[in-house]
């Protein structure tokens, strides 16, 4: 994929040895001024950029310490012939975020493989915060293909009306957008927004598992939805609809743990040499379980999401998929809360499709089958972290407090 020359307003100054510098990411139209710096990073010029939300002082302080902002990259963290362009923070739910070292070759390989899978270059609409990999990749794909990204103000609440307005402003030709399931759900509640969604050449949906009913409704409305699986360590999504992108390989070990291999894999974590997740160059060992069905990878869930109740191990994802099939359920998380008898008690945290007609506990239990929740908690929205990912720990804490 061709990278065009430097944009006006930014002087390319090679830095050797190279340092890590913060890239404070604003929202709205102000994002345009970041494009020259991102273009320079893709060309291997300037410092390695660590995106962070502008004005988020606690996160800025955290990354400054964890990523060694202003200090040099270690020899193993950079390569003169393939510079580290971005150090992106993982969206972990607890503790200090890890900084994934993403070389320019990995970012370009990801952009090229994505375009090869989706169709010809076109207009990308940004709907996600650009300090996270999914949003950042919308900007980088646009730069790599020589197109101009179109920007929704991610500092404001995502609504169907704002999505329609942004879609109507796109030029003719191929168009693409990346969403999280919550945004897709909101769009499908509005007829005009649903019609706008159907005008996109492809709609990427990732960040967390997408309920099959939601995908079915989107397909019936004429939307071309592609579910994505990936993470910061792999430059974002690298498995689309269960099939790895060209050049990417996904494998599972005897326990079902997924490893991802290929040119989109980063070179490790900042200030964490020898991390076991990157034991082999070009391979990232995930914390996710997966299975293969008809040549497609199905994500069962994270290893640490498994709930042990009465000595049985319950993977939440399949149970959530079954409950989400209920027409009365918009979103659901299955969590475990401490219980003196069972060790953990299964609780369904549910966002009803219609708050005036929520599902009953019995509805949920029948849908869940043998992994029956013993309690249900109704919420307006699921707690989230990062770019719209459901926060299981926060949901479990909320359920424990409410049940107590």
Query: Is the confidence at residue 310, as pLDDT, over 90?
Result: no
Sequence-distant (≥ 6) Cβ neighbours of residue 1 within 8 angstroms? 108, 111, 112, 115, 144, 145
The boundaries of the domain holding residue 108 are 20-297
- Do residue 189 and residue 54 come from a single domain? yes
**Residue 285 located in a structural domain:** yes
- Do residue 209 and residue 314 come from a single domain? no
**Residue 37 located in a structural domain:** yes
Query: Is the confidence at residue 5, as pLDDT, over 60?
Result: no
* Domain C-terminal end among 268, 297, 326: 297
What is the model's pLDDT at position 401? 92
The enclosing domain of 321 has a CATH number of 3.30.300.30
pLDDT class of 3 with cuts at 50, 70, 90: low
- Do residue 29 and residue 166 come from a single domain? yes
With tokens 């060694």, the residue in question is: 68
With tokens 């040895």, the residue in question is: 17
| Burial of 154 (C-beta count, 10 Å sphere; 0-12/13-18/19+) | buried
When pLDDT is averaged across residues 202-223 and rounded to a whole number, the result is: 89
- Do residue 200 and residue 110 come from a single domain? yes
- Do residue 319 and residue 275 come from a single domain? no
Q: Let me know: does 387 contact 138? Beta carbons within 8 Å.
A: no
What is the model's pLDDT at position 1? 54
What is the model's pLDDT at position 285? 97
Q: How many domains does the chain have?
A: 2
When pLDDT is averaged across residues 366-389 and rounded to a whole number, the result is: 88
What is the model's pLDDT at position 156? 92
Counting residues of the chain whose pLDDT is more than 90, the rounded percentage is 76
Q: Let me know: does 168 contact 193? Beta carbons within 8 Å.
A: no
pLDDT in tens, 71-127: 999 999 999 999 999 999 986 544 678 999 999 999 999 999 999 999 999 999 999
Sequence-distant (≥ 6) Cβ neighbours of residue 171 within 8 angstroms? 123
- Do residue 192 and residue 218 come from a single domain? yes
- Do residue 249 and residue 369 come from a single domain? no
Query: Is the confidence at residue 280, as pLDDT, over 50?
Result: yes
With tokens 């169709």, the residue in question is: 119
Strand blocks (E) in 76-173: 84-89, 99-103, 123-126, 150-151
- Do residue 372 and residue 264 come from a single domain? no
- Do residue 143 and residue 187 come from a single domain? yes
With tokens 């990278």, the residue in question is: 3
* Domain C-terminal end among 273, 297, 321: 297
Q: What is the mean pLDDT of the chain?
A: 91
The enclosing domain of 289 has a CATH number of 3.40.50.12780
With tokens 């990749």, the residue in question is: 137
67-96 b/e (C-beta count within 10 Å ≥ 16 → b): bbbeebbeeebbeeeebbbbbbbbbeeeee
Q: Let me know: does 67 contact 20? Beta carbons within 8 Å.
A: yes
Sequence-distant (≥ 6) Cβ neighbours of residue 380 within 8 angstroms? 351, 355
**Residue 24 located in a structural domain:** yes
pLDDT in tens, 135-154: 999 999 999 999 999 999 99
What is the model's pLDDT at position 389? 76
- Do residue 149 and residue 277 come from a single domain? yes
- Do residue 293 and residue 311 come from a single domain? no
- Do residue 314 and residue 382 come from a single domain? yes
From 348, 325, 323, select the one nearest 335 (Cα to Cα).
Answer: 348
């Amino acid at each position: 994929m061709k990278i065009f020359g430097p944009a006006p307003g930014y002087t390319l100054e090679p830095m050797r040895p190279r340092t890590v510098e913060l890239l404070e990411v604003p929202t709205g139209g102000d994002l345009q001024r970041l494009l020259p710096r991102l273009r320079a990073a893709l060309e291997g010029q300037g410092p390695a950029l660590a995106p962070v939300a502008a004005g988020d002082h606690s996160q800025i302080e955290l990354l400054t310490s964890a990523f060694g902002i202003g200090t040099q990259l270690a020899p193993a963290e950079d390569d003169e012939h393939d510079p580290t362009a971005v150090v992106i923070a993982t969206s972990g739910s607890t503790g200090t975020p890890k900084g994934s070292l993403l070389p320019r070759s990995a970012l370009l390989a990801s952009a090229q493989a994505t375009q090869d899978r989706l169709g010809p270059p076109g207009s990308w609409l940004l709907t996600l915060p650009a300090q996270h990999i999914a949003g950042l990749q919308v900007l980088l794909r646009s730069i790599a293909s020589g197109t101009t990204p179109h920007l929704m103000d991610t500092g404001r609440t995502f609504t169907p009306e704002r999505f329609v307005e942004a879609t109507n402003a796109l030029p003719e030709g191929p168009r693409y957008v990346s969403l999280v399931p919550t945004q897709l759900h909101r769009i499908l509640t509005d007829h005009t927004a649903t019609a706008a969604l159907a005008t996109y050449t492809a709609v990427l949906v990732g960040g967390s598992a997408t309920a099959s009913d939601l995908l079915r409704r989107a397909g019936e409305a004429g939307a071309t939805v592609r579910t994505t699986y990936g993470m910061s360590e792999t430059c974002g999504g690298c498995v689309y609809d269960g099939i790895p992108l060209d050049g990417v390989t996904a494998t599972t070990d005897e326990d079902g743990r997924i490893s991802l291999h290929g040119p989109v894999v980063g070179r490790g974590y900042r200030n964490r040499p020898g991390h076991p997740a990157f034991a082999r160059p070009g391979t990232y060992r995930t914390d996710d379980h997966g299975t293969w069905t008809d040549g497609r990878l199905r994500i069962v869930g994270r290893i640490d999401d498994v709930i042990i109740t009465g000595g049985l191990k319950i993977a939440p994802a399949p149970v959530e998929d079954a409950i989400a099939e209920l027409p009365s359920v918009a979103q659901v998380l299955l969590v475990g809360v401490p219980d003196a008898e069972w060790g953990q008690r299964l609780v369904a945290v549910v966002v009803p499709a219609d708050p005036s007609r929520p599902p009953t506990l019995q509805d949920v239990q029948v849908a869940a089958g043998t992994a029956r929740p013993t309690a249900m908690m109704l919420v307006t929205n699921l707690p989230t972290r990062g770019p719209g990912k459901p926060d299981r720990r926060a949901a479990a804490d909320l359920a424990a407090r409410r049940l107590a």
